[in-house]
Amino acid sequence: MKIVDLRDCPASGLFYGGRAGQKEGILVDGVPWIAKYPRTTRDLQGKNLPPYTSSPVSEHLGARIYASLGIPVHETMLGYRNGKIVCACKDFTFPGKRLFEFKDIKNALSDDDGGFDSAPSDGESVFLGDVLATIETSDLLRSVPGVLERFWDMFVVDAFIKNPGRSNGNWGVLMDASFSYELAPVYDLGSSLFGKRGDSLARRRMLDESDIDQDAFGTNVSCYRLPSGDGRGASIHPFSYMAQTVNPDLDAAIKRFMGSVDMDRIDALIDSVPAEAYGRPIMSEAVRASHKLLLRRRIDEGFVPLLARIVEREG
């Protein structure tokens, strides 16, 4: 895997939002890209944190794993700029497209619509039922092919790569100049693959089976929630939810995933990331081994039993 030298790329004059670290608009061969920098950990809670997150590497690996599954995802590359390893993400709105995030579309719903656990127009609501009701209710989302399938594909793959950062604000649709709409590619994957974990903690967590199981499944929590008596909602642990839920759309997503995932290819992708470049560390051998171990554990002890239950249920 080549780490691209982005030091001489000019600023594009475009600006991008978000809370997960610096984002800089740059031009690569005249085309707008977003340079996503590692976030400092000085304001983050937790022990044994490295000075900066490895979110650029997580962003790139997460995107390449999605691509290996045949799911449309934004184009990324790892690069070096301003003394840091960054993930450059091609601006998929250029030229002439506009991104509407799911929360924006949900915000246009009438509060008179039924079937919601909170106000339909609350774009920030992450009650799972509200998200699904929005997909069923919104005229726009019903007109765009594949929205429900994309939602469940992301639910499944985000569980596989442990991406807790999915929200109503990082998936949606693109509109072109003719007011035609299409699904945006999957993007915003910097929270996946334990992006805040350093070498020493990765090494230590692999020494104990209970820690491995906890990292593979126990700490794997979705952003989506189920209604609860206190009104705040109950956390969804995706593997427990998938094991306890009978939903044909979710089952279909699990089958698509298991029909596409190639662990040898994913191992090779992880192995292709260099240990260092430009004098900067990128991926230690402990982190590399941890990624491969946890992903295979989620396949062998998570998705294989899930698929077996689906096949048995379908007869």
The CATH code of the domain that includes 146 is: 1.10.1070.20
Q: So what's the pLDDT on residue 69?
A: 99
46 part of a folded domain = no
34 part of a folded domain = no
Q: So what's the pLDDT on residue 291?
A: 98
Collect all residues with Cβ–Cβ distance below 8 Å to 54 and sequence separation of at least 6.
Answer: 38, 195, 196, 197, 282, 283, 287
Q: So what's the pLDDT on residue 65?
A: 99
Has this prediction a pTM greater than 0.75?
yes
Q: So what's the pLDDT on residue 246?
A: 95
Q: So what's the pLDDT on residue 47?
A: 52
Low pLDDT (below 70) residues in the chain: 41-54
Collect all residues with Cβ–Cβ distance below 8 Å to 208 and sequence separation of at least 6.
Answer: none
What CA–CA distance (Å, rounded) separates 303 from 126? 24
For residue 273, what are the domain limits?
Answer: 94-314
72 part of a folded domain = no
Q: So what's the pLDDT on residue 21?
A: 81
Q: What type of residue sits at position 288?
A: R
64 part of a folded domain = no
> Into how many domains does the chain fold?
1
**Pairing status of strand 98-101 against strand 84-90:** unpaired
pLDDT digit string, tens, across residues 22-81 = 999 999 999 999 999 998 755 545 555 444 456 999 999 999 999 999 999 999 999 999
Instruction: Write out the DSSP string of 158-197.
Output: HHHTT-TT--TTS-EEEE-TTS-EEEPPB---TTSS-TT-
146 part of a folded domain = yes
88 part of a folded domain = no
Helices and strands (H, E) in the chain, number of each type? 12, 12
Q: So what's the pLDDT on residue 233?
A: 87
Rg (CA), the chain: 20
Q: So what's the pLDDT on residue 50?
A: 47
28 part of a folded domain = no
Identify the three-state secondary structure at position 31: strand
Cβ atoms of residues 98 and 69 within 8 Å: no
Q: What are the residues facing 90 on neighbouring strands?
A: 33
41 part of a folded domain = no
